[in-house]
Structure 1
Amino acid sequence: MRLLERSRPYRARLLDRSRRDRARLGLAAALVLAGVLWQPILYPAGKAVVLLLDVYSPSLLGANLAAAITPEPRVSETRETIGGVEMRVTWWRPGWGDRHPGILIVNGATPVGNDNVATRQFGTTLARAGYLVMLPEFPFLKEGRLDTDAPHVVDAAFAHLRSLPDTEGRPAGAFGASVGAGLMLVAAGTYSALGDADHLTILGGYFDMDTYVAAVATRSSGDATWEPSAEASERLPPAVEAAMPNETDRTRVRRAFTAPSYAAALGELADLSAEGRWVVDRLSPATVWSRVDPPVFWIHDPEDTYEPVSEAYAARAASKPGRMVLVVPRLVQHAEVGAGATARGPLFVLGELWSLLTFTLEVLRIAG
């Protein structure tokens, strides 16, 4: 009996030691698993959470949670000559470290250029997530011009970003919004720098210049009505007309924008001279889509009033090398949080955020 009583503390010590050993093994396994999953899942997932918090928490929660957990990015302005064009460039760098993955932003055709509030906030957002961000103020986009040399200049901007010591050996990609996204895609299918980008992300954007013009002209996407924004309706017609090489083509463009139907508008554009067709095709991603090698991640609001969502569906239906991922969220309207998003209830918001989180995680696995 005394032997049994003396053996109980011994058995208890053995049991405690066994539990401690299992705990140590569990901790070691967890650390190994974290190490294995860090680069493909945990690291990009953390960045994705920071991105979404910075974009959505001010609107949905009334406070920017990302700003509370990340250092303030470093912002600077320079003057650069890119592709033979002098321009203002805004830079955002993370508040830590010297070398980072790079992202070029190709803005939409906003007349305020780099002072666009939503774009500047997005630059801050990307820097909080660990990216060196370059935002050139392309003159042709700020002025609303269709410049056939624009894809070359956009490609040269990406080459400049890639040449920096800050991005050496790190992934680099580009983010294009609206009309700027179309030019970015043309550059990626035509030139070597963006053609070798690690990733291309699109917010809005057009795919085919002909169908985009016809949509704005006739308030239709072919088989459905579509209401373009006042800005698109006012700025696109004179831009296309001014890009034409002769008066005959300018007359045809005017006819396209007053055509009675979508098909009639396309017919007017098809009748342009060879020189006029060259301008349209030169600025149309559809003509080079089969040569766009980098993976393309496309976000398009179904109620976008700058480019119809049919442009995104046409891109997805067309053949291209590599991946093309399309997400059509209802939480974003063009470049900002939709005004009625919170009115649809928490389950709607959570569902949309989950969709955007998985999409963003997929992008950031490549973006680094």
Structure 2
Amino acid sequence: MALSLLPALLSGCASLNRHHEALLVLGDLSAGREDSRLKRRTEPPRREGIEYARQGRDYRADVYHPPEPRRGSLILVHGFTEQGRRDPRLVALARTLGRVGFTVMVPELDGLRDYSISTREVAAIVDAIHHATRAGSEAPTRTAVAAVSFAVGPALIAAMDEEVAPAVSFVVAVGGYYDMTDLLRYITTGEDRGSAGQQAPPPQREARWAVLLSQLHWLEDAQDRTLLETIARRRLADPQAPVADEVGRLGASGRALLELVTNEDPRRVEALIDRLPAALARELEALDPSRQALDRLQARLVLIHGPQDPMIPISHSRRLRDALPQGQARLFETEALQHVAVSTDWRDGWGLWRALVHVLALSEENGEGG
């Protein structure tokens, strides 16, 4: 009788440890660079800068080696940041995950550093998955993937690539998007058509200019690229800054992109997208999860989103969850997130704590731990 109870007791102990560990992670995320219980109880991971190549493409990455590697590999994909893999917030997150046993790989993604996101980033994430699951091992291993904000689309599409899909155990998507057209509509006009009647918060004013910067590289005219970058950066610094001179010198393609970004009529969005240069329109479609065959995704999906996100409405994560087979994706709605920034108020952290418990459980369930 006593022996028959042992598995249940051990399972209960593992669950309690997981819940406690998730609480320590939440406290460390809230603390930032300040002291925390997790920092006092654990050693930081060792960071190693690496270089690797695949099919003629060269990459750099940081790998955070935990003192006790017990949760397997996790590829952490950064969002828009000029500091790339060395963004202090990203470094802090990688160190937190390393302290609880993940071996964290943070690839440098040039397009997310210079705001020129494209399907190039999808290929780079596929290559990172390939490296993490095949380098230095006789047999392929598995890895988890985590991404934030505008990096969620490329990361999710990469995880569906037929070459690496079986190697991805689960994907964590924080504040990500699902439908590119509806995202552009919300950012530019404030209308969220996926909200099922619920009112989304007003969009963050900087978002439209971030979108403009992210697509400049698709314009063939160098003068248009320069003028639009000047407009975007000037308006980021001052929403009322004069730009009439630059607008008047734009060519047809530059005007089409600027008109989409500055449009405030929700009904015009599709027509304005149709007027974009063909290469740009193709890229937007290729980076749109709602236009992908989602049945190619073999990984479990963990969605974490703040209900008051002013950059990407929570409706995108809700729709992505509903687009997958029941049980494949779980959504954790948490007041602890204002887009991707973590609240320091512990009273906001219930949803995020539950998400962390789930992520730790998946790392054990999928054999990430050892």
TM over 0.5: yes
Q: How does 1:1-368 map to 2 (within 5 A)?
A: 31-36=6-11, 41=15, 44-45=18-19, 47-56=21-30, 58=31, 63-82=35-54, 84-96=56-68, 101-165=72-136, 171-194=142-165, 196-222=167-193, 224=199, 226-243=201-218, 250-272=254-276, 275-288=279-292, 289-319=294-324, 323-338=328-343, 341=345, 348-349=347-348, 351-352=350-351, 355-364=354-363, 365-366=365-366, 367-368=368-369
Q: After superposition, what is the alpha-carbon deviation per residue over 1:12-33, rounded to whole angstroms, capped at 9, x for unaligned? A: xxxxxxxxxxxxx86x666543
Percent identity of the aligned residues? 20
Query: How far did residue 355 of structure 1 move?
Result: 3.5
Distance 1:239 1:72 in 2: 34
- Counterpart of 2:111, as a letter, is F
Distance 2:260 2:329 in 1: 31
Q: 1:52 to 1:293 in 2, by over 3 A?
A: same
Higher helix share: 1
Query: How far did residue 210 of structure 1 move?
Result: 1.6
Aligned residue pairs: how many? Answer: 332
Secondary structure at the counterpart of residue 59 of structure 2: strand
- Counterpart of 2:210, as a letter, is R
Structure with greater Cα Rg? 1
Distance 2:138 2:105 in 1: 11
Q: 201-210 or 81-90: which moved more?
A: 81-90
Query: How far did residue 249 of structure 1 move?
Result: 5.4
Gaps of 5+ in 2: 222-250
Query: How far did residue 293 of structure 1 move?
Result: 2.4
Secondary structure at the counterpart of residue 157 of structure 1: helix
- Counterpart of 2:112, as a letter, is L
**Equivalent pair of 2:116/2:216 in contact (CA under 8 Å):** no
**Equivalent pair of 2:134/2:141 in contact (CA under 8 Å):** no
**Equivalent pair of 2:200/2:313 in contact (CA under 8 Å):** no
TM-score scaled to structure 2, two decimals? Answer: 0.77
TM-score scaled to structure 1, two decimals? Answer: 0.78
Distance 1:152 1:240 in 2: 17
- Counterpart of 2:320, as a letter, is A
Higher RCO structure (Cα 8 Å, ≥6 apart):
2
- Counterpart of 1:304, as a letter, is D
